[in-house]
Structure 1
Amino acid sequence: MLTLERSTSLEQIIKKSRFVATAGPVASDEAAKEFIAAHSVGDANHNCWAWRVGQSYRCTDDGEPSGTAGKLILQAIDRLSLDNVAVVVTRWFGGVLLGSGGLMRAYGGTAAACLRTGKLVEILAVREVTITVTFSDLALVTARLASSAGVQIRQERFTETGATLTVDFPEASALQIARMIIDITSGRASVVLDPSIAG
């Protein structure tokens, strides 16, 4: 599956109505809701949106005739086989009625055009890992993690003797990276791989 690398936007004027689509990557349902709230415009006539995060998805027509906006935005996401993506299409009415078919083409087309402008990246399965390390090994461990492809340190909590790191490892190389951490610390570091896979 693919997602957007970063947020992107696109503006179109369709029969005097202004449509602005903003799309971006989201990691969770909560992040999708925050994205939509952040990119909805208060003085616009409509802020129609859709998002998909795995099997979870939502969409709304925001006052447009039922089935003419949100569903079409979601279809634009699905046609491009995207995941972990939210799209808001904002409309300022220009005085010309578009009709149901025109609205469907406008919302779906603007969302699709916006999504096509963004750079796509592959979503990699990750495994959450907890690493407990002493202060003497902390700098070496964090440097090795930073140089390992696809590794992301999400949290660092300090203890009396060192630190506990919460890290995402790429699923495909999780065991090799865990072994590397144990080897470079001569077994002083503790590495616990969460059995559940996120991503």
Structure 2
Amino acid sequence: MTTEYRTVYEGGEEEIVEKRSRFIAAVKPVSAEDEALAFIESVRKKHWNATHNCYAYVIGERSELARCSDDGEPNGTAGRPMLDVLQGEELRNTAVVVTRYFGGTLLGTGGLVRAYAQAVKAGLASSVIITKIRGVKLRIGTDYTGLGKIQYILGQKGLKILDSEYADNVKLEVLVPEDAVEAVHSDITEGTNGQASMEEGAKCWFAQIDGQPVVLEEYTD
């Protein structure tokens, strides 16, 4: 089972120019092949008068499906280099289309490979890329004397509090990577001499975005 993987959270678009040919890269997160194909078709319609609309996409938590197309460029000069960039960045569930408007000067095989690869890198640079982590919402209850110790343990493990409630006692909700739950449970139990209560809530995929934990989607086994 995959516990985490890199993907695009927000797609971007960027353009580079090589010998007057314009290469416009559009990046989008996708979760299934039909989404990737719909995205590719939407770009084709937008750039209906372009010379080429080449694409590459990787689908699945373990990259189960990978496809690419040169769309009329010489074999292996567009789609494959684009796919190589996605796979080199270890991205999943990501699609990219590079639209080319021919500028009148032939680039040659090597030039095309470099241009399409650089366009994808530029598109990714304008996107928001995250590490999607399989986790659990851990609910922690404590009195005020144990709060400082729990905050210290969470800080040492790089875990941030998702929600908190302060009343007679303190209730915290923390996003914990699934493979770290047992260790967190053990450390908090030891650190508070067993005075803290802990309950596992919903399982979810989450990510750190701008330094804050964000729940992306809940799931069931």
TM-score bracket for the superposition, by shorter chain length = 0.5 to 0.7
Q: 2:38 aligns with which of 34, 39, 44?
A: 34
Contact 2:11/2:128, CA 8 A, preserved across alignment: no
Residue 176 of structure 1 corresponds to which residue in structure 2? 200
Q: 2:11 aligns with which of 7, 10, 24?
A: 7
**What residue identity is the alignment partner of 1:43?**
N
Quote how far apart the aligned CAs of 1:113 are: 1.9
Residue 123 of structure 1 corresponds to which residue in structure 2? 132
Residue 98 of structure 2 corresponds to which residue in structure 1? 89
Residue 113 of structure 1 corresponds to which residue in structure 2? 122
CA distance in 1, matches of 2:220, 2:87: 30
Quote how far apart the aligned CAs of 1:125 are: 3.6
Over 3 Å counting, the alpha-carbon distance change for 1:57 and 1:18 in structure 2 is same
Quote how far apart the aligned CAs of 1:61 are: 0.1
CA distance in 2, matches of 1:19, 1:118: 16
Over 3 Å counting, the alpha-carbon distance change for 1:178 and 1:97 in structure 2 is closer
Task: After superposing the two structures, state which structure 1 stretch, 114-123 or 3-12, moved more.
Answer: 114-123
Quote how far apart the aligned CAs of 1:194 are: 4.4
Contact 2:15/2:122, CA 8 A, preserved across alignment: no
CA RMSD of aligned residues (A): 2.5
Structure 2: gaps of 5 or more residues: 137-160, 163-175, 182-198, 204-218
Q: Write 1 or 2 for the structure with the bigger share of strand.
A: 2
CA distance in 1, matches of 2:132, 2:38: 21
SS in 1 for 2:91: coil
TM-score normalized by the length of structure 2: 0.58
**What residue identity is the alignment partner of 1:10?**
E
Over 3 Å counting, the alpha-carbon distance change for 1:104 and 1:34 in structure 2 is same
Q: Which has the larger radius of gyration?
A: 2
Quote how far apart the aligned CAs of 1:99 are: 0.5
Q: 2:54 aligns with which of 45, 48, 52?
A: 48
Quote how far apart the aligned CAs of 1:21 are: 0.3
Structure 1: gaps of 5 or more residues: 128-147, 150-169, 180-192
TM-score normalized by the length of structure 1: 0.64
Runs of 4+ with deviation above 4 angstroms = none
Give percent identity, aligned residues only: 38
Contact 2:68/2:80, CA 8 A, preserved across alignment: yes
